[in-house]
Amino acid sequence: MHLSIGLTTSISSRRMKWIYENADNLGLHGLWIGEDIGRPQEIFTSTALLLLNTKKVNVGIGVTSPLIRNITTIARASSTISEMAPNRFRLGLGVGGIQDLSSLGISIKKPVHSMERTVKILREIWINQGNPIKNDELKIHNYNMKYRSKQIPIFFGVRGPKLMTLAAAISDGVILSGPREFVENSIKLIKDKQKSLNISSEKFHFTLWVPTILIRKKEDIEIVKKTVAIVALDTPDNILEMSGINKREISLIRSEMKSHGIQKVAENINNQIINSLCISGDADEICDKFESYSSLGIQEVVFGPPYGKDARESMTQIAQTWSKKL
């Protein structure tokens, strides 16, 4: 099992710099960067920075939505950054949040079809066998990328069962995020699907990325509660129910959020919700919790954000504790 660090495009350039300057020395397996739509940093340019400034760690996008860019841009941006550091880049795709997409005037229609089409076209572009690519839906006419690219591992960051089974069939891995029960069910679903399709799951990669916070001070508990409140609001009911979280508690959280804001909601977050939706504790506890996912089939765990009050110290402590345990 490997340890990686996660960040998003909301990160400050200063913190991103600290991460890429220390990633190799911390002995990390990888870095995953998720796209927060509309935030200051651009996902592909940031990924380029992470790759240019590290030598050993894998760097993955986890995830970007294929609906917010022209598919040929995703193809060539991925192949460009992959060229900078061959075999270290992984592309994560996810449909994207409804609210984020609607803010850009994009409605989600047929997400399974969109994801399937995206993967098919990306791979066709990367293979670049000289045959022009056409797709009427996306109005692509006789397109060819004018340089060669390697195939890039594609990860899915998805939640619904249909998308999960699609991931089993066509992706190289998944980034799972949710309560333990959801993770367990998803792994089972994928493995069963692969079995039915006669696909070997040996090379398929399971990554776990849930909010993680190293608790060192009292203020860290505040961060935990706020983070969990936000995650709870963003998690579909069926997934919350999987972990036994009471439906009433969730609707209470949502209504409190509307009327009183995050501070009030955080006060009502109980331990059960915290333990379901986030991994927190001291460094040993967090590493033990990570390790416990190994038995489910998780091969890589991602620490952060929000990390804790002192993000740098938290990342360093977790990485050191992890390497000692190994």
Partner 1 sequence: MKFGVSFNCNDSISDSVKKSIELERLGLDYVWVSDLPSQRYAPAVCAAIAQVTSKIRIGLGLISPFLHKSQQIASSLTTLIESYGPRFDLCIGPGDRDELYKVGIDLKDHKNIVQSLLNSRKEISTLLQKRGIESRIWLGAQGPKLLRLVSSFDGVLLNYSSIEMVKWALKIIKEEDIDLPISIGIFSPSYVYKKINPKIQNMLHYASAVVALGTSKVVLKEFQLDQDLEPAIIEYRSKSLDESVLSLIPQDIIKKFSIFISQDEIPKYINELKNLGVEHVAFSYPQGFIGWNIAKTLKEKGKEVILFDIFPPRKYQDLSELTPEVKFKKGDLSSWPEVMEVVKNYNVNEIFHTGAMVSEACENNPLAAYMVNINGTFNVLEAANIFNVDKLTFISSIATCSLGQTETITNLSPQRPLSMYGVSKVCDELLGEYFGRKYGLDFRGVRFPSIIGPGRGLGGLSSYTTLMIQEPALNRSYEVFVSEDTVCPFLYYKDAIRCLIELHDAPSDLLKSRMYWIAGELLTATEISDIVKKTIPNAKIFFKPDPEKTKIVKSWAQKIDETEANKDWNWKRKFTPEQAITDFIQEIKSNPEIYN
Q: By the criterion CB under 8 A, which residues form the site for partner 1?
A: 9, 13, 16-17, 38-42, 44-49, 52-53, 68-70, 72-73, 76-77, 79-81, 83-84, 104, 138-147
Q: What is the largest CA-CA distance in the chain?
A: 60
140: Cα within 13 Å, side-chain hemisphere: 20
Q: Which of 73, 80, 93, 72 is nearest to 52 (CA)?
A: 80
CB-wise, 128 or 316, nearer to partner 1?
128
Could you tell me the two tokens for 213? Answer: 């916070």
CB-wise, 48 or 279, nearer to partner 1?
48
Nearest distance in Å: CB 285, partner 1: 35
CB-wise, 57 or 190, nearer to partner 1?
57
Evaluate whether 59 touches 153 at the Cβ level (below 8 Å).
no
- Distances, alpha carbon 208 to alpha carbons 60, 143, 186, in Å: 13, 36, 11
Residue corresponding to tokens 């001070």? 217
CB-wise, 132 or 248, nearer to partner 1?
132
CB-wise, 49 or 115, nearer to partner 1?
49
Evaluate whether 51 touches 84 at the Cβ level (below 8 Å).
yes
Nearest distance in Å: CB 67, partner 1: 12
Nearest distance in Å: CB 138, partner 1: 5
H-only helix segments in 159-245: 161-170, 180-196, 218-234, 237-242
Nearest distance in Å: CB 314, partner 1: 23
Nearest distance in Å: CB 73, partner 1: 7
